[in-house]
A and B are shown apart, each in its own frame.
Chain A
Amino acid sequence: MLNAIIRFALNHRLLVVSLAAFILVFGALTVRELPMDVFPDVTKPTVTIMTESHGMAPEEVETRVTLPIESYLNGLTGVERIRSQSGIGLSVIYVEFAWGTDIFRSRQLVQEKLNLAKERLPKDIAPIMGPIGSLMGQIQQIAVTSESGAAIAPMELRNFAEWILRPRLMTIPGVAQVISIGGGLKQYQILVSAEKLNRYQLSVEGIDHELAQISQNTTGGFLEKDSQEYLVRNIGVIESADDIKKTFVGLHFGKPVLVGDIAEVVEAPRLKRGDGSFNGSPAVVMTVQKQPGADTVEITRAIEKAIEDLKPSFPKGLIVNPDVFKQSNFIETSIRGIQGKLQLGTVLVFAVLFLFLANLRMSVVTLTAIPLSFLITALIFKLFGLGINTMTLGGLAIAIGELVDDSIVDVENVFRRLRENAQLAEPRSRLLVIYEASSEVRNSIVLATVIIALVFLPLFNLSGLEGRLFAPLALAYLTALTASLFVSLTVTPVLCSYFLSEKKGAHADTKFVLWLKKWDRRMLESALPRPGLVLGSAVGLLVLAFALVPLMGRDFLPKFNEGTAMVGVSAPPGINLAESNEIGARAETVLMSIPELKSVSRRTGRAEMDEHAMGVNVSEIDIDFKPSSRSREEILNDVRDKLKAEIPGVGVNVGQPISHLLDHMLSGVSAALAVKIFGSDLQMLREKAAELQLLIKDVPGLVDLRVEQQALVPQLKIHVLREEAAVFGLSPGEVTKLLESAFNGEVVAQVIEDTRLYDVFFQFDQNSRGSLEQMQKTVLKVMPDGNKVRLEQVADVYETTGPNEINRENGQRRIVISANVSGRDLGGVVEEIQSRVREKLPLPEGFYVVYGGQFESQQAATRNILMFGLIALLGIYVILYGHFRSHMIAGQIMATIPLAFIGGLILLFLTDRSITVASLIGFITLCGVASRNGIMMISHYLHLIKFEGEKFDKAMVIRGSQERLVPVLMTAFVTTLALIPLVLAKGQPGSEILHPVAVVIVGGLLSSTILDLIVTPTLFLRFGRQAAADHLKPNEEIL
């Protein structure tokens, strides 16, 4: 079939050229339309369920909300983990499904369970599902601030953000959600005075009843008059603060009492559980989330344009800064970086081709394979809805060398046969010669390509984050490689027919090649008679290389360089928002004193609607950097040290936004390492966590060590005394309901201003609930004889403490001790921690420790990659045996793989000193690439014996080696040079994951190529005689 393809191409040369030109043009246009992102979508299918629980304490939220919902969700098809957080007035449950699960189906299943669970939840409490999110979904942060001196009130800033900017941004295609924090959400508040209530002898019960009807419109049906019908509307809705003040709430000695008589009505910000600031000034910080699969760069451009369009209508002195955090900056920097490396790689490939071939036409024909293969890949990506990201571009970067490889072999052989043909007395048809020359090498080309494809296939079986990351790399690589195979069978022979000259003596080895061949001959002359020494040296080098493994660290993925960083500052739980704001502001001041920092934006606590349930004691500070001579690691260490020194008593966690999200996805914790203690007793969990923290705090390399902030926070409890309450005809339920209205407050209506809707909120004023004593005096009921029932008569009011939050995982309470690692490998740190915990942390019955985070993923990924690597090796062996029908030849070709590992390990040790999932992928790639050289070399020896009359001796081996020297060296040089830009790009944005892959391949190719030139001929001469003889026998079993 392959011959038929070559024949068809040569018979329809114009069609082939036209198709190639069409692919070039259409592919170039298509590339621009492909969606762009940093990484492939690595979001694990997760459904988030949020349940607002009206100021309930965490214990109540856990038992009355979280547990009933969890009990229904347990056992749901495809669920891998259920995590929950029960905080003050909020339950957040994360239901994580297995990778590859259909998120829409999962949401449907969850919704069905929620409908059932609702029956077991307290009245008026309804769980809602968060929107379908993406790990890389938080694409931009926008700060709304005022110019210095403009003094726009925080409530006005929020009004602008909420009612003007947000609606505009929400209409941009691809925007899923815009969440604002900071400023103040406007509200009409009815602040009732307990003292005035007493004076007018009104009860909370009565006020509550009246205010529930403060604003109501109803319909009066239709009135028919003069052949027309009139819609009758009963208007009772409030439209202003004055309307509220004039509303009736009760009678006092027969006279009506209005809201204005007992309460103050004000426009004020809603109770805040979070705040924001930008560069130290109060601000509304808006976080934009995109829909899964939407193009981040395109949305960011649209957002900036929308803001620019709105600018003329901004209130005077109001500033909107869209550049607080932009993921598109990271994407563009990363993609530009990789594209640059691809371009540089292509130029280097051309230089190598020209250096070896010294023929512009041959070089150009060979090089055509690169753009054609890339653009065919782009077209296939478009067809299957895939996009451009650092991993797919990385696949192409790794493939560059291989792409031209097929064409090199073809062009070189065609050129040689054309030259031989030209020397004939009667030269044959030019197209026939090209056809035969292309057919001659197609077997080895296809065999090598199949082997490379085989080693990449296991990458599609990788599960977890590593599978999501590397499958697109493998897909891009294989698609490009298959495309290049197709190009080498079609376009390359056609271009050869147009461009290659067949004049006699038109081509000869260059001086450089002659020099290489001279050295190669000398080496072979001295090596071939000494097989023991050669093989012994190779084994020695291999042992030496593997001896480096224990000296290297082990990490899951290389560290990212995202361009921005995120600092978490956690004050002790229990402090109020004002105090936490103060601490956050101090942290901002400290950060702004670091010269490399460009901007600082802070979010303290939780925004309304946000599924990120943070306590008010926690601040997240996003920082952006100026260009600097100091490394990012140095700056981040400086950030960490300064914050710890200047603000004692707070927990500091320094990381990067995307890395944090990845960590969170892996373990539910925003840190690289999570030690989780499971158990039922909260106090014991806190005690054991404290012990564990003390135990491991001096482990070298451990930074940002902190215990999850589960602590006791102050509570004021009003414990209803049933017998006393019964005396006054009050049930505990009545009492608590009345107290909720009085102290917690409730929304009783809405005021409509233009199209804006503001809540009307009723609560006791500060003087009536500002102290324990005032609360105790609250009148709950006025008895028929005029006696007032006060709270202190029916309840015990006292200060105590309760947990700030209760976290659960898979149905068990748990506490997490988290940390990052700096200056040491993750694997080593975890081993030391495990050993200390095993020896020195006694746990009560039913308690246990689980380790999670990147470490967990690294172990699983390493296991999988090694297993799949072995399967791939077995596959290579089977294919080689199938082709050569000789265990010895298959074994000799595969002997080049360990030779490649020598260089891979040594270069990895010299550059990164850490074995990551990325470097393991590099080793897998090496298996295929290294086998290719062996195939080319040994096939040629067999060819010389079979077709060119050579005997099995030293001369044949030297001749074969010399003739394969140029293709082998060209292949190695081309691949190596194409990857050199990535090898030199350590820590550069977008190259973080690809750098170790490139290091291993380049190191491996260097060692395998150099050693291969000596070891393979020596091995073949020493052990290949019988195998070669067997191979050349006609295969009698084939019919």
Chain B
Amino acid sequence: MKMMTAFLSSMLFLSPVFAHEGHDHDAPAMVQAPRGGMIKSVEDAHIEVILKKNDLKIYVYDKDLKIKDPKTVNLKAQTQLPRAKAAQNLPLIAKEDRFEASFDAKGAHRYSLVLTYKHEGEDHADKLTFNLEPKK
């Protein structure tokens, strides 16, 4: 019991943000991407990713598909090439209505973009993985 309590306490206090992929994030969304990109959903937001060669545009919407101001959104990104052991951080630039980034996949047929979205006023965050194909 003590072990259990200690484990739960450590989970609660030691990790400031509890990121997980427990929801059905990767299922086909019942929403149509407003800009025709890849869209995934978390409890209170939809995130749409548009890739054009090396350039990434990331839009964050509320439940009613209205754009959220990027300055009010806590979003982090990592990329990982297939069969690579470690992911690398990707800096995001907040623009007027979206985030932008650039990533060179160095000829790989795809890479994973892992976005960590921290919910407003809560401590927990969701992780969303987008498999992107820069050659398409």
Please report A residues at the B interface, Cβ cutoff 8 Å.
59, 571-576, 649, 682-683, 685-687, 689-690, 709-714, 717, 719, 796, 798-802
Contact = CB atoms under 8 A, between A and B. Distances in A.
A572 B30 contact: yes
Contacts of B17: none
B17 to A, nearest CB: 25
B109 A711 contact: no
A591 to B, nearest CB: 21
Contacts of B31: 572, 649
Given A572-B32, A796-B83, A712 B109 contact: no
Interface of B: 26-39, 50, 52, 82-83, 109-110, 112, 130-133, 136
Given A576-B28, A712-B37, A798-B82, 9 more contacts: A572-B32, A687-B35, A690-B34, A711-B36, A712-B36, A713-B28, A717-B110, A798-B110, A800-B131
Contacts of B110: 717, 719, 796, 798, 800
6 contacts: A571-B30, A573-B32, A649-B31, A690-B34, A710-B36, A711-B36
A575 B28 contact: yes
Given A709-B32, A796-B82, A801 B38 contact: yes
B113 to A, nearest CB: 11
Contact of B131 (A575, A713, A799): A799
Nearest to A575: B28
A388 B31 CA distance: 49
B26, B130, B131 pick with most chain A CB within 10 angstroms:
B131
A675 to B, nearest CB: 16
Nearest to B50: A683
Contacts of B39: 712
Nearest to B112: A798
B129 to A, nearest CB: 8
Contact of B28 (A572, A685, A717): A572
B28 A574 contact: yes
A796 B131 CA distance: 12
Contacts of B112: 798
A683 B36 contact: yes
B30 A687 contact: no
Nearest to A693: B34
Contacts of A796: 82-83, 109-110
B63 to A, nearest CB: 11
B112 to A, nearest CB: 8
Contacts of B28: 572, 574-576, 713-714
Nearest to B108: A796
Contacts of B36: 682-683, 685-687, 689-690, 710-712
A573, A689, A690, A712 pick with most chain B CB within 10 angstroms:
A712
Nearest to B82: A796
A719 B30 CA distance: 27
Please list the 6 inter-chain residue pairs (A to B) with the smallest Cβ-Cβ separation, ordered nearest first.
A686-B36, A574-B28, A800-B131, A572-B32, A687-B35, A798-B131
Nearest to A714: B28
A687 B33 CA distance: 10
Contacts of A574: 28-29
A646 to B, nearest CB: 15
Contacts of B32: 572-573, 649, 709, 711
Given A574-B28, A575-B28, A713-B28, A800 B132 contact: yes
Nearest to A724: B83
Contact of B35 (A690, A709, A719, A800): A690
B26 A712 contact: no
A717 B35 CA distance: 23
B40 to A, nearest CB: 10
Nearest to B52: A683
Given A711-B32, A719-B109, A719-B110, A687 B131 contact: no
B65 to A, nearest CB: 10
B36, B37, B83, B136 pick with most chain A CB within 10 angstroms:
B36
Nearest to A803: B36
A447 B12 CA distance: 101
Given A712-B38, A719-B109, A799 B26 contact: yes
A571, A686, A798, A801 pick with most chain B CB within 10 angstroms:
A801
Nearest to A574: B28
Contacts of B82: 796, 798
Contacts of A649: 30-32
Contacts of B34: 690
Contacts of A689: 36
B57 to A, nearest CB: 9
A717 B30 CA distance: 22
Nearest to A694: B34
Contacts of A687: 35-36, 50
Contacts of B130: 800
A685 B52 CA distance: 13
Contacts of A575: 28, 30
B136 to A, nearest CB: 8
Contacts of A683: 36-37, 50, 52
Contacts of A571: 30
A247 B22 CA distance: 45
A690 B33 CA distance: 9
A841 to B, nearest CB: 14
Nearest to A685: B36
A573, A686, A709 pick with most chain B CB within 10 angstroms:
A686
A799 B38 CA distance: 12
A649 B32 CA distance: 8
